Amino acid sequence: MATDRRDFLKTAGAVGSIAAAGAAFAGGGSTAHGAPTARSGPKGMARGLTLLTLKKGGEFRLGVKTEHGVLDVKEAAGILRLPAPATLDDLLQNEDGPALQALVEAALSAKSAKTAFVKEDAVEYGPLVSRPEKIVCVGLNYRKHAEETHSPVPQWPVLFNKFNGALNRHNGTVKLPTDVATQFDYEVELVIVIGAHARSVSEADALSCVAGYATGNDFTARDLQSGRGGQWMVGKAIDQFAPIGPYLVTADQVDPDRLQIECRVNGETRQSSNTSDLIFSTRQMVSYISRFFALKPGDVIFTGTPAGVIVGMPKEKQVWLKAGDKIACSVEKLGELRFELV
């Protein structure tokens, strides 16, 4: 699937013409510590890792959750003088899984790398990813959710999109745009992150293109989504309306078709379901979407929300979200995503 690019990178590395490729694919150059960045060597997805973005020294860095704490990848690469991707976007888009895994193994066994581990409760999280080429979302993908919104159960996946400006982080805030909307609602969702080029991929091969999974919230302004003639993009693609995190758990560790999925507002459970209830499964979604758009490493897919959203309640019981509300979303094995409305 990604053989074209892998071959290209191999060739580019072999003939030393990485300069052109470096700018586009490898992030080029060296880290602040002078360690080489991952620019050549084997390419592929990371396996067996739980990844996050940490904010340190005014920049976003790739982090790896381990039994010794969170590994600051940039710090470890500098100490061990090993190549490594600088950010989660770099890891995904450059397919630098093997380099990262080698670094993690080396850091876990080297005494000198001890200072590269930080306690997770001291971590300030950044957005899990910040520059996917595409954020594709699937609507009405749980039967009871379609019913609660009085929508027909779709025969084909309903697709819409968000922009990168919507990407948001664990422990972050969503600023409610009260000048343009009033009916704010939550939507916990399983998020798929693509790890290999996929165009018209079969359902059988679809999951081999997935780098990993994360917890997300397709935050929505209902009065924009269904008012004004029904404009899903405007109701869903607003700045900060796509929190994802805290982790990207690599695909080898997760069966995406049987995960408990929940959303709580100020501690009260509002949504509780299982991804086994998805109308279109993860493999069906990846395959279907790839018939229209080439899915590329780093791309993000929101897979739809289960029943229990505010818009699905009887009108007299609808109390829209407001500043000060605390939202907690969880997908089994992927961690709890928390954010506050301001």
CB closer to Zn ion, 90 vs 187:
187
> For Zn ion, which is the closer residue by CB, 253 or 274?
274
Site string for Zn ion, 93-132 (x = CB under 5 A): ----------------------------------------
Q: Is the peptide bond before 246 cis (omega within 30 degrees of 0)?
A: yes
CB of 304 to Zn ion, least distance (A): 5
State both tokens at 151. 């929508």
Between 185 and 325, name the residue whose CB sits nearer to Zn ion: 185
Q: Which stretch binds Zn ion (CB under 5 A): 50-58, 161-169, 180-188, 285-293?
A: 180-188
Verify binding: residue 218, Zn ion, rule CB under 5 A: yes
**66, 114, 77: which is closest to 99 by C-alpha?**
77
Q: Rounded to the nearest whole angstrom, what is the least distance from the CB of residue 244 to Zn ion in the complex?
A: 13
Using the contact rule CB under 5 A, the part of the chain among 106-114, 181-189, 243-251, 275-283 near Zn ion is: 181-189
* 187: contact with Zn ion by CB under 5 A: yes
The binder of Zn ion chosen from 305, 325, 327, 335 (CB under 5 A): 305
Number of residues that bind Zn ion (CB under 5 A): 3
3-class DSSP state for residue 291?
coil
Q: How far apart are CA 103 and CA 116, in angstroms?
A: 12
Q: Is 217 in the site for Zn ion (CB under 5 A)?
A: no
Of 219, 256, 252, 216, the C-alpha closest to 336 is 216
CB nearer Zn ion, residue 187 or residue 325? 187
Quickly list DSSP for 1-22: --HHHHHHHHHHHHHT-HHHHI
Q: Considering beta carbons, is residue 40 or 305 the nearer one to Zn ion?
A: 305
Asked if 185 touches Zn ion (CB under 5 A), the answer is no
Measured between alpha carbons, how far is 183 from 30 in angstroms, rounded to an integer? 47
By C-beta, is 149 or 253 nearer to Zn ion? 149
Q: Which helix (H) or strand (E) holds 97?
A: helix 97-109
Backbone φ and ψ for 198, nearest 5 degrees, come out as: -140, 115
- Single out the segment in contact with Zn ion by CB under 5 A; choices: 125-133, 159-167, 216-224, 262-270: 216-224
CA 232 – CA 234 distance, rounded (Å): 6
Q: Alpha-carbon Rg of the chain, whole angstroms?
A: 20
* In the complex, minimum distance from the CB of residue 78 to Zn ion, in angstroms, rounded to a whole number: 40
Amino acid sitting at position 339 = F
- Measured from the CB atom, is 161 or 253 closer to Zn ion? 161
Q: How far apart are the first and last CA of the chain?
A: 43
Nearest distance in Å: CB 261, Zn ion: 12
Q: Which helix (H) or strand (E) holds 137?
A: strand 135-139
Interaction site with Zn ion (CB under 5 A): 187, 218, 305
